[in-house]
A = this chain, B = another copy of it.
């Protein structure tokens, strides 16, 4: 009657076969090792999706095109107008709307770290209307959630609401495209029953001790 005591390590991270790191093509393994070096562990999404190398490559390329872009600046006029934190807010809020455990937990961790905001991810996951964000960010999430939940109903007024908050059309593309990309990612994670690494749950919650 108690909760199962299977050690987490013994629980599958996908409903589908998960390749061993050493069996992966060089480019994929290389990227994964780089992530591992930076993060300290291999996020399960990299292994679970590597079951299909071509899809993995396209997925990671798409991810990078949206999320690895530097911010817009005088030196980088084609950069992204959204901060890294704002992009993660979109991901957490829309992934929660899709009940995607992997993306809420993994990107919740990133959001906490990037924003140095240990409460924000849980707030966004449960109810974005109750999160400690600005009215401008609230407008951004309202649009992103409409893309996630009912994109067919988007009308001029939705775009104008963002422009009134000084979002440019390029920003609107980013807001919508990130919500659209995670509409796919959430479904892939739900399809594979992708399990978040245990490490993500605690990341960004405890202030780092000073040196």
Footprint of B on A, CB under 8 Å?
A: 1-4, 6, 8, 11, 15-17, 51-52, 54-55, 57-59, 61-62, 64-66, 83, 85-86, 96, 98-101, 104-105, 115, 117-120, 122-123, 125-127, 129-130, 132-134, 136-137, 147-148, 151-155, 159, 169, 173, 176-177, 179-181, 183-188, 190-193, 195, 198, 201-202, 205-206
Contacts and interface: CB of A to CB of B under 8 A. Distances in A.
Given A65-B54, A173-B52, A202-B118, A3 B100 contact: no
B4 A152 contact: no
Contacts of A195: 130
Nearest to A103: B126
A interface, over-half SS: helix
A4 B180 CA distance: 27
Contact of A129 (B1, B127, B134, B152): B152
A96 B191 contact: no
A139 to B, nearest CB: 12
A151 B98 contact: yes
A201 B118 contact: yes
Contact of A119 (B126, B181, B198): B198
A10 to B, nearest CB: 11
18 contacts: A3-B133, A52-B173, A54-B65, A58-B58, A59-B62, A99-B126, A101-B123, A101-B130, A119-B201, A125-B125, A147-B187, A147-B191, A151-B187, A152-B190, A154-B193, A173-B192, A181-B184, A184-B184
A133 B173 CA distance: 26
Contact of A3 (B126, B134, B179): B134
